[in-house]
Structure 1
Amino acid sequence: MVFVRDVMTKEVVVADPDWTVLEAAKRMATKKIGGLVVVKSGRPIGLVTERDILWKVTAKEKSPTKVCVRDVMASPVVTVSPLATLRSATRIMIEHNVRRLVVTRLDVVEGIVTARDIVEGFLETWARERRKTIAKG
């Protein structure tokens, strides 16, 4: 069985809710990622993604230097335990219509898991099982 902890990204890039959207976009571009966990007092309070910026700022012709992250982030943040199975994480994503889950333990961020991470985890599991079957003959 594969768990969220096995496929999650442990190096989480964070944003402050008081940052401008421009600051958040620059951080995403620098790190080559599509989303930031928004943290206040060390606790996750939201998630801001490229899509949030595109739909809530750019498409509405708002200035990214005048809009704050807190005004466009998805909140409350959707979380999952590192000990959850990939199947369970998939259900949470579908239920909340999200593609990223913040991995927390006792409200402390431990990682982030994306739909892509989960698909790759399922594929690796399938391939491993397939190799075992072939090896057995």
Structure 2
Amino acid sequence: MAAAATAGYAYLIQLVGYHIWRAAHLAARQDDRIAMEDVQNGIAAARREFERAVLETAIAGLSKTAMEYLPAMAQDAHASSTTGIAQRIGVPSSSLTATRSMLITRQIIESTGRGYVGFSIPFMSDYLLANRSALLSRYGV
């Protein structure tokens, strides 16, 4: 459970481990064992910190177009077609070339094949979908 919560992302491995250990320490059990409740609480705390420290930082200061691009991309379970993203936003694909390049440069997304992109940061898609309205409202969308 803890390993799956990290998606193999080095920072998350450290963060999840730290928060599980902290949850167990705060519980101060007599037998010094880590309980499933500690694991669940630790994962939840790590995820909140990851969202604040990594995901929010990654999307801070993005243009309105980039902020529309990412939630449109998040709708796909796996790699997203750049043409499909443009259709969801309602613009020609060619108008998103600079946005796509900037998101790749900022390491938020990566090219997964000709005409396809995926997220570079784990759980970014989940975060964008869960917070779509709030994120887009920052831009008046």
TM range (shorter): under 0.3
Higher RCO structure, 1 or 2 (CA under 8 Å, sep 6+): 1
| Larger Rg over CA atoms | 2
More strand by share: 1
More helix by share: 2
Q: TM-score, normalised by structure 1?
A: 0.26
